Amino acid sequence: MAENFATAFHRVAILGTGLIGGSFALALRKHFPEARIIGFDREAVLAEALARNVIHESTTDLATALNGADLVYIALPISTTIELLPEIAKHAAQNALVTDACSTKRAICRAAAQHFHIGAIFLGGHPMAGKETEGVAAADEKLFANAKYVLIEENAETKNNPRVAAFTSLLEKMNGRPTWLDADTHDWAVAIVSHLPQMTAIALAEVIAAEADGEADGLPTSLAGPGVRDSLRLTASPYSIWRDVAFTNSDNLGRALDRLAHAIEQLRTHLTSRDLEKSFAEANLLHKSLKP
């Protein structure tokens, strides 16, 4: 029911007009050309977003961005989001839906619960889409298409709120796939399928780098083929994002890393035994089950 949008959201404030905020803006402009989009970010980022026709207006003043916006889309780093939430709650319009796109959800939703009481309502979200490339230059109106978009169900009433329902319709119109989870379940699941693979790539790279001993052109890296390059692709993702992720999901991620260290120690003891076959079979089965 995308027509809900027309009655719900007329003015959209996008806080953070990088890859995710920019992609959301482009998808909005494609599917809801009547919406007016105002961007909030640093001056240079806004200039580029305006030049690329990603947003209609820009401001570096948060209250100005929020003024009259009935949809507030936060696509800022986790720590910045948590820092700004009190001010966002204070200045957001009474009828606004405020939602975020941060990649961990417990810390954000806890902070939001402290500051959003009456008027504007908060909905935690996480588009399961991204790229290693940051910035509005990489923004893509199809970034969310055919990707799950996790929304956080705080309680039984969350889904029934008309503004939430309108936002869900909007995501569906963008060909996103809204998926309801609670914040605990979300943070556990992404620790396993997103944050653990990231940290695994970092640890693998550290071991290889230590063996290479600073000799970039030498062995063993000079024998590296496409397999290890794929295994290390995630290391191109910037620390600035992962610092906050690790900080706000250190319990789940810590447990996952413990299990990985244990799995590696097991594998080490099985290198010359038939138990290795079981590990390969299990891994292969999992890989096949992952949908492209």
Footprint on residues 170-229 left by a second copy (CB under 8 A): 179, 181, 185, 188-194, 196-212, 216, 219-229
Contact partners, residue 56, CB within 8 Å, separation at least 6: 36, 37, 38
Among 150, 151, 174, 183, binds a second copy (CB under 8 A): 150
DSSP lists the bridge partners of residue 56 as: none
Distance from C-alpha of 287 to C-alpha of 199, rounded to nearest angstrom? 19
Please list every residue from 229 through 288 that binds a second copy, using CB under 8 A: 229-236, 238-239, 242-243, 246-247, 250, 253-254, 256-261, 263-268, 271-272, 276-277, 279-287
146 is a contact residue toward a second copy (CB under 8 A): no
Rule CB under 8 A: choose which of 2, 148, 161, 169 binds a second copy: 148
> Rounded distance, CA 168 to CA 178, Å?
7
- Burial class, 190, CB count within 10 angstroms (exposed 0-12 / middle 13-18 / buried 19+): buried
- Does 98 contact a second copy by CB under 8 A? no
**Which 40-69 positions form the footprint of a second copy (CB under 8 A)?**
none
Residue 138 interacts with a second copy (CB under 8 A): yes or no: no
Residue 18: phi and psi, rounded to 5, are -90, -145
**Which position has the token pair 């990489």?**
138
Q: Shortest approach of a second copy to residue 106 CB, angstroms? A: 15
The only residue of 18, 22, 130, 176 in contact with a second copy, by rule CB under 8 A: 130
143 interacts with a second copy by CB under 8 A: no
Regarding 110 and contact with a second copy (CB under 8 A), the answer is no
One DSSP character per residue, 170-228 reads HHHHTT-EEEEE-HHHHHHHHIIIIIHHHHHHHHHHHHHHHHHTT-TTSTTGGG--HHH
Strands (E), the chain: 11-15, 36-40, 57-59, 71-74, 97-100, 121-123, 125-127, 148-152, 177-181
Residue with tokens 């295994």: 231
CB closer to a second copy out of 36 and 148: 148
User: For residues 147 and 127, is the Cβ–Cβ distance under 8 A?
Assistant: yes
Binding status of residue 92 toward a second copy by CB under 8 A: no
**Least distance in Å: CB of 206 to a second copy?**
5
Closest distance to a second copy from the beta carbon of 149 (Å): 11
Give the residue, chosen from 62, 128, 138, 145, that forms a contact with a second copy under the rule CB under 8 A.
128
Q: Does 145 bind a second copy (CB under 8 A)?
A: no
Told to check if 161 binds a second copy by CB under 8 A, we report no
